[in-house]
Amino acid sequence: MGVFRRSLPLLATSFVNRCGTIGLSLLPILLVERHVPAAQAALVMSVVQAAGTAGVLGGGLLADRAGASRAVLASFLLQGVGLGLLPLAPALWAVTLLAVAARVGQSMFMSPARLLLVDWMPHDDQQEAIGWLRTANNAGQIVSYTLGAVFSALGVLPLMLFDAATSLAAATLGAPLLRRRRVAAPVPRTGADAGTPGAAVLVAVCIGGFTFLYELFMTGTAASFRLRFGEDGLRLFSTAMVVNTVLCTLLGVWAARRLRDPRSVFPAGMALTAAGVLLALHPDAGKPAIFLGVLVATLGEVVFASIAPFVLLRLLPEGRGRGARHGGLLVLQDLGRIGGAAAAFPFVVHGGSPVLFAAGAGAAAVALSLAAGRAASPAPEPAAPAA
């Protein structure tokens, strides 16, 4: 539990923030309630989603210039201010501006948070520390999903205000905790472990392939379940997401402690995810097969994510601008998420061969993971010269 205790200041603040993660997902409902025309609503949603990519890069840049702890606190403050004022904004331009602020704050968190853990932790503990961060985030999301389901009848305003309150509470809690942590002594790195730009880019693209599959799964199942199962589709999707989040919370640290070799972990996690997506998206699958697919995809997520963020950080070259480089690599991952969301409706929800498309995407992602796993593996230490 030593790694947990050393990570606790960040874990506690991140958990408090994630207890309210429902706010931006309610933006489409707010636009409908305000009778915003479809074209304008689509434009607002597109601008807000695009702001997420800017936030990912901005988090790394701010970590370089102001420090990772200040970047984390700025992330919480932007979320709190944006979401707190969003439901009260009188005009559409103000709604858009505040939603963009909240989205930038939300997306800028991950890069400085991971860099902060790397600064705090000895090299051998960094992978487990990142696993604890994922666990804290998932546990907070479970709380958020539960509260959202229980109090959904209250409407958009109180849920958005609660989301804002958790972000501001996280900033208040984190301000004294994150700045007084002792920085770990740097560990010299050699060989492939010292980081190469080509390997780092390949791993980032590989993670982008994973996020493509995952977003294809999330968007495709949400829409297709509604079409196939009617009103019961939302309940089915929500239940599947609860299963996914609970399993990730329970297994995340266990996997981070035990899975170490990207040559096997990357393709195994990617293959499991692809197989789960195929099962869940098959148009003839019944509910037992769908939940089996969710289970398999979740196991793939646990396996792949147990090592991927740590490997990407390990491959970053040392020196100035490390946060900006990390943010740029995370943008490559974000492009996979955007691509998956864009492909879901034409190729999966309304496509003529959703299984064939998902199989092709999964096969390409697995092939990419094999190459990235080899590139990310540390070079063997040179043999000692003979006496």
Q: Are residues 266 and 303 in the same domain?
A: yes
What CA–CA distance (Å, rounded) separates 76 from 18?
A: 10
Residue 183 confidence class, pLDDT cut points 50, 70, 90: low
Dump pLDDT digits (tens) for 371-385: 999 999 864 444 444
Q: Are residues 232 and 303 in the same domain?
A: yes
Whether 140 is covered by a domain: the verdict is: no
Q: Are residues 197 and 307 in the same domain?
A: yes
Q: Are residues 212 and 90 in the same domain?
A: no
Dump pLDDT digits (tens) for 213-247: 998 888 888 778 878 888 777 678 778 888 888 99
Q: Are residues 212 and 82 in the same domain?
A: no
3-class secondary structure per residue, the chain: CHHHHHHHHHHHHHHHHHCCCCCHHHHHHHHHHCCCCHHHHHHHHHHHHHHHHHHHHHHHHHHHHHCHHHHHHHHHHHHHHHHHHHHHCCCHHHHHHHHHHHHHHHHCCHHHHHHHHHHHCCHHHHHHHHHHHHHHHHHHHHHHHHHHHHCHHHCHHHHHHHHHHHHHHHHHHHHHHHCCCCCCCCCCCCHHHHCCHHHHHHHHHHHHHHHHHHHHHHHHHHHHHHHHHCCHHHHHHHHHHHHHHHHHHHHHHHHHHHCCCHHHHHHHHHHHHHHHHHHHHCCCCCHHHHHHHHHHHHHHHHHHHCCHHHHHHHHCCCCCCHHHHHHHHHHHHHHHHHHHHHHHHHHHHCCCCHHHHHHHHHHHHHHHHHHHHHHHCCCCCCCCCCC
Q: Are residues 115 and 253 in the same domain?
A: no
Q: Are residues 200 and 311 in the same domain?
A: yes
Q: How many domains does the chain have?
A: 2
What CA–CA distance (Å, rounded) separates 280 from 288?
A: 10
Whether 334 is covered by a domain: the verdict is: yes
End-to-end CA gap in the chain:
43
Among 146-155, 214-223, 322-331, 334-343, name the one with the lowest average pLDDT. 146-155
Dihedral in degrees, nearest 10, Cα atoms 46, 47, 48, 52? 100
Dump pLDDT digits (tens) for 70-119: 999 999 999 999 999 999 999 999 999 999 999 999 999 999 999 999 88
Domain coverage including residue 17: 1-122+152-182
13 contacts 76 by C-beta, under 8 angstroms: yes
Whether 370 is covered by a domain: the verdict is: yes
